[in-house]
Every structure is written in structure tokens, then in C-alpha cells.
A = this chain, B = another copy of it.
Amino acid sequence: MNILVAQSGGPTAAINASLAGVISRAAEEWPDGRIFGGCNGIQGILEEHIVDLKETFCPGGKPDETLLHRLEVTPAMYLGSCRYRMKNFEEDPSDYEVFFGIVEKLGIDAFFYIGGNDSMDTVQMIGDYAQAHDKPLRVVGVPKTIDNDLMGIDHTPGFGSAARFVATEVREIALDTDIYLNDSVVIIEIMGRDAGWLTAASALARMDGSTAPHLIYLPELGFDIDDFLRKVKARLFRYHHVVVCVSEGLKDVNGDYLLADRSRVDKFGHTALAGTGGYLRDQVVNRIGCKVRCVELNVAQRAAGHCASGTDLQESRRLGSEAVGLAAAGKTSVMATLTRTSDDPYTVTYSSVDVHEVADRVKTVPLSWITPDETDVTEEMIRYLQPLIQGDPQTPVKDGLPDYLRMQK
């Protein structure tokens, strides 16, 4: 069997681990098969921008484990990405006709798409088209997103690494904030437009004797600025140095984004967000008047390979491998998934889920995992998060820096 694999959506520290899993398992399952990589997701594939991954990663047919390990620990997308939305094929089948033309020309038997909600939508549509048009292609999704907001999976590949970076940074920024005598507030803006999982991970930053972060605001609950300022004031009185973690996607009590920039809407209909943390900083400066700093963790959250979770990389690679197993077993229109069977000791099992149950849906934080005062998470959330940030990624180091792998162009 010959396969085609591509990556899509926003980067994570673990998405290349899934790619490594697809490559090594496919080389093992089908020693005579070819392994094609589609550059820049479906968008690049439609332009026939395709590379030979077997040639690069399996010289002489054998997987080069040293190279695959470098791929595994490299953040962002080795194959590049896209945010391309295919039209519904009943309305406009042209993209699908081009896609299946290429699939048939290259003799591809299985297509693997590594991505988040929007990418699973693409998997679903290509799978549906194949079924409706009697195409034998097996279409399998491999999950990833730092937002952890995919349905049908306990937690998403990429999330554990992002959570580890967020918790580490918040712990370090809390130490940094604590050193002067004057009262101060630091507001840390964390990614997550509709789901607060990553912001919730800031709670892991607490350590012996340190209560930071003192306030955690998730987008699942309506945000009230007056109540926020009252709480910051009360924490300042008690702790003098206050660390506040906020999701970029905070919404007011009407469910509208606090800081939506309505002039910018992307292809998937997502409104751009601008500066929730900066807005809150200005409010604290003007209405409380102490020293305030806003820190946006920004793209580092999704690219911090140097702080990746070993558990996350291992699971991400395994999910890539399992996806190949699913195709080998004849499955299609599914996403490879994992189910947690125990928190302590932490164990998971691997299986698959119908991609129709995943595509275009969002898994938010259960309200019961947010404390009644709406500014912290419960012990249940901590137990859920804790296993996901464990383990060193064993990133090879060269000249003092992570030795990442980049496609030679």
C-alpha cells in the first residue's frame, strides 16, 4: 500500500511526533509501499506539492530512527500547514476531483491528516466523498491541538507539551513578580479561544508555599470586569504580588468576546482576538493604580519543543502509528484516539472514533471542574492534567540548543 500524509491547522510541539509515527509504522506495515508527504496540508496537495518521505526517513527502506527522533522532538510542522477550507462537495466538487485525481495518479491507498477540529472536518468530507463516489481510499485523522478541545479523545496530542510550558512559565514569572516590596500585578494571557484547558494548566504552577496564580479566568464563564477588579484588589491586600492567568478568549456575560476584532474573520469564521491581557492591564492601571505587567505567552506556547512533555510526544507518535494500523485493518473515516483507563498509575488504551463525532465540535472545560468562585480549577482538573506534563522529551542538543529537523528546501 502507498500512503499520503499531511499536517494542518496551528502548530504544536508534538505534531511531528505523529508524523514520525505514521512514517515508521507505514514502513513496517508495507515494506514495498511508498510514503508521500503533502506540503502545506490539503492546499499544497491540491497544487501537487508532494515529497517522498520514505526516501528521506527510510534510506534503503529501513526507518532511520535517529532522524525520526529528531523529527519527533521538532515543534511546528515539518510538512508545513494550511488553513484551507474545502467546500461542501455537493455544492462544489472541484477540489475533490483534483484531490482524487492526484490520489489515483500516485496510486495512494490511504490518506492520513494530522490536525484539529477544522482538519477533522476535512477528513470527514474527503471520507464522505470517497464513500459517495466508491473510491477505495482509506481516510484516517490523527488528532492534534494545544487547545485540547477535540471531542472523542481524553486529551489531544500537543496539549500536554503546551500545558507543561505554560505551567513552567507561570511558575517562573510568579518567582519574577515576587521580588520587589511594592505591590504588583502580572496578567498572563494564555491561548484558547473557546476552551480554557490550557489556561487551567496554569494551576499546576503552584508550588510549596506559593499561591500563584491567584486568579484563573477561563472562557467557559462570563467575565465581569468590576468583579475582576474587586478580586484583584482583595488579592493585592492579602498577597501584595498577584498573578492572574486569563484565556485570550474571555467573553462577557452575553457570551461575546471581550476583545474581538470584528474586522478580521478567518476562513473558518473565527473572529480574530486582540489583546485581552493588555485590556485588563489598562483597567488595573486606571482603576487600581498599582504596578501591572501583561505577559502574552504567545506562539511559544505551541512551539516550545524544548519544554515538551515526554508523555505527550510518546502518545503523539503512538497515535500516528495507530492511525496506520487502522488503515491497515481497512478502517476509514475514523480518527485514531486514546482513552484514559487510570489516573494513577496513568494508563491509556488506543482505539478509533468515527470522525463524524469529532469534526466541527468543541470540547470545553466541564463547569464542575471550575471552583464555585469562578476563579480557580478543582482537584479533579489537577488530577486530569498532572499525568499529561510528565517526562523529559530527550531532545538531542547541538551547540547548546535543541537540534531540530527542518525540511531542506
Taking the closest CB of chain B, its distance from the CB of A60, in whole angstroms, is: 22
Question: Which B residues are CB-close (under 8 A) to A358?
Answer: none
> Contact: B171 with A404, CB < 8 Å?
yes
Question: Which B residues are CB-close (under 8 A) to A400?
Answer: 164, 167, 204, 309, 386, 389-391
* Bound complex: CA A335 to CA B143 (Å): 55
Known: A179-B76, A305-B172. A401 touches B300 (CB 8 A): no
Of B169, B207, B303, B389, the contact of A404 (CB 8 Å cutoff): B207
> Contact: B172 with A303, CB < 8 Å?
yes
Tell me whether A168 is interfacial, beta carbon within 8 Å: yes
Docked complex: A292-312 residues within 8 A CB-CB of B: 293, 295-296, 298-300, 302-307, 309
Question: Residues of A at under 8 Å CB distance from B?
Answer: 11, 40, 43-44, 74-77, 80-83, 164, 167-169, 171-173, 175-181, 186, 204-205, 207-210, 293, 295-296, 298-300, 302-307, 309, 386, 389-392, 397, 399-404, 406, 408-409
| 29 A-B residue pairs with CB within 8 Å | A11-B179, A40-B181, A75-B175, A76-B175, A76-B179, A81-B180, A82-B181, A83-B180, A164-B401, A168-B401, A172-B303, A172-B404, A173-B300, A176-B303, A204-B399, A207-B403, A209-B409, A210-B406, A293-B299, A295-B296, A306-B307, A307-B307, A309-B400, A386-B399, A386-B400, A389-B399, A389-B400, A389-B401, A391-B400
